[in-house]
Structure 1
Amino acid sequence: MTTPSSSNASAAKVPFPPMTFGKAALLRAFGSLYTAFFSVLISVVTAILVDGVVGLTVSAWRILKLNHQALIKLSSSVLRTWFSIFMGHLEHFGRLTIVLTGDAFHPNESALVVCNHRSWADTVVIYSLARQVRMHGDVKFLAKRSLLVFPVYGFAGWVLDVVIFIKRQSTSAGRRLNRMFSSLTDPRRRQAPYWLISYLEGTRFTHAKRQNAVEFAKKRDLKVLEEVLQPRTKGFISTVHALRTNAQAVYDITIGYTQSENGDMDPTFKQMYLTPARKDRVIHVHQRRIPLSDLPQDDEELKNWVYRLYEQKDELLKAFRTNGCFAARPMRWNRMTWGYWMQCQAIVYGAFGITIYTVYTLFSFAR
């Protein structure tokens, strides 16, 4: 569980000696080779273990209608171990460092998570926050159906029930959402908490998209927002009504990225993933825990509540641009330990080796 600490606030200000051109080039070359090897290997492992072995296991489990609670625990354990390999890579080699302020999140608590959306790095941040309370194997997403065909990971997300793929403006979207909600609220899920992530802006923030959001706000007499897009309220309202008896809180996450000298968002996901760093790549996060019971019951009041929430996010981010940090109670963020990271790798790659050996033995026997 996260605890108050002021150490993170000072961590981002530690000076580092300048790196020579040759050393920087060598480090980038090493990082590129390592990351290429890591990416190929983890993709092959995912394709065989998750899409193959785990996919067949989960499918058979569902067809035979075996113990539902055990299936959920299996999926959660697989995801927690597998995602830890990625997070360890990003936190140690990419030097992802989170300066965290706000409220503590609770372990073993089901929550609806709303977050501003700027980059692929947003999802990395959310998984790192979930890992602080050992919930990174229980994160769920809503996503566009087109992502289902994303190589390897689209099918893995569907098999392990991480992602529900929906078509926007589809007549079947409501039915698919209802099926997802019934899965999350199934009484057999007791003591199987989850985080359901919803990017209410519907897309990543860009200045071009902001112009569309400005026009939308003016047409509906809403406050014009500068740092976030206008939230989409219909899906949020349906989700809240469906989860009132099952989830305990709304986790309101606001992510603040600094800007590089050329005005780009810093750090980017590409930087963290592809190049090792000598110093921390800092991302600021402000988080709030809002009891779900505190949200309005009426749809119109709930819609206005969401608009006010994003107006508050906008003000937070404008202050962040000025001050370089969020002015709130500091919290402790813990980097993944080397020991735990190596343990997860031993489990995943050990299972991969056993699978390859078993398939090879069966193939040899069949011949």
Structure 2
Amino acid sequence: MEVLEFLLYCEGTRFTEKKHQISMEVAESKGLPKLKYHLLPRTKGFTTTLKCLKGTVSAVYDVTLNFKDHQVPTLLGIINGKKYMADMKIRRFPVDEIPEDEKECANWLHKLYQEKDALQEHYHKEGTFPGPTITPPRRLWTLLNFLFWATLLLSPLINFACGVVVSGSPLLILGFSLFLIIASIAIRRLIGVTEIKKTGSSYGDEGAKKQN
């Protein structure tokens, strides 16, 4: 059976305090309730996507994610082996229950984000989402799949490193070590420039498109 999945991030950009402030100014100007933990959703993309996928997909899944202890995960932290724990709230909405009219569909999406904001508020206060909690079992297949691809992709580098060590050439060993150090520094600097505070869209800037 063919399964079609489409991932849509309705806020359109990553959350920052500056973008949130601008977004809430837009909400006030449009008479919409202000959100505490989200930006206003970009409704045009959602309504157009839903209209095009009507009859193809059966449901919309809303996912709300929160990291425990107010942790803010970073790619650099993951590379350094830091462990992050998170809870996820998933809700299913049959497509047939979502209004077809563009304006009503947009209102439905705004209401959904108000509910998402309430979920975030509950999690912030209680440390958990409302409703029953399901802890998925650990799957051996996931670990085996990771080990297989890690071995397949890293084996050339490991073989080369072993060859360098076995060669006994101080110059070759020093050169390879310097290469690893420079590559590590370069990757960390590259990750640094992708931090949320340094990147993102021109949300709210003069000349940028008006939020729908």
**1:228 to 2:55 alignment:** no
Q: C-alpha separation between the residues in 1 aligned to 2:125 and 2:28?
A: 26
Contact 1:267–1:283 (8 Å) recurs in 2 = no
Contact 2:58–2:94 (8 Å) recurs in 1 = yes
Greater CA radius of gyration, 1 or 2? 2
Task: Report the Cα offset of residue 206 of structure 1.
Answer: 1.1
State the AA in 1 paired with 2:85.
V
State the AA in 2 paired with 1:271.
G
Task: Report the Cα offset of residue 341 of structure 1.
Answer: 2.0
Q: C-alpha separation between the residues in 1 aligned to 2:32 and 2:66?
A: 23
Relative distance call for 1:270 and 1:334 in structure 2 (3 A) is farther
- Normalising by structure 2, what TM-score? 0.66
Write the mapping of 1:71-82 to structure 2, written as runs, cut at 5 A.
none
**1:196 to 2:6 alignment:** yes
Task: Report the Cα offset of residue 259 of structure 1.
Answer: 4.9
Contact 2:59–2:92 (8 Å) recurs in 1 = yes
State the AA in 1 paired with 2:98.
L
**1:253 to 2:58 alignment:** no
Give the total of aligned pairs.
155
- Match of 1:256, SS state, is strand
Q: Greater strand share, 1 or 2? A: 1
Write the mapping of 1:1-367 to structure 2, written as runs, cut at 5 A.
191-259=1-69, 265-272=71-78, 274-277=79-82, 280-335=83-138, 337=140, 338-346=143-151
Q: C-alpha separation between the residues in 2 aligned to 1:294 and 1:347?
A: 46
Contact 1:251–1:289 (8 Å) recurs in 2 = yes
State the AA in 1 paired with 2:76.
K
State the AA in 2 paired with 1:267.
P
Task: Report the Cα offset of residue 269 of structure 1.
Answer: 3.3
CA RMSD of aligned residues (A): 2.2
Contact 2:35–2:117 (8 Å) recurs in 1 = yes
Task: Report the Cα offset of residue 346 of structure 1.
Answer: 4.8
Q: Percent identity?
A: 29
- Match of 2:85, SS state, is strand
Task: Report the Cα offset of residue 238 of structure 1.
Answer: 0.5
Task: Report the Cα offset of residue 283 of structure 1.
Answer: 1.1
Relative distance call for 1:270 and 1:348 in structure 2 (3 A) is closer
Task: Report the Cα offset of residue 294 of structure 1.
Answer: 1.2
Q: Which residue of 1 aligns with 2:201?
A: none
Contact 1:267–1:282 (8 Å) recurs in 2 = no
Q: C-alpha separation between the residues in 2 aligned to 1:275 and 1:206?
A: 24
Structure 2 gaps of 5+ residues are 158-212
Q: C-alpha separation between the residues in 2 aligned to 1:345 and 1:335?
A: 19
* Residue-by-residue CA offset, 1:34-91 (whole Å, 9 max, x unaligned): xxxxxxxxxxxxxxxxxxxxxxxxxxxxxxxxxxxxxxxxxxxxxxxxxxxxxxxxxx
State the AA in 2 paired with 1:340.
N
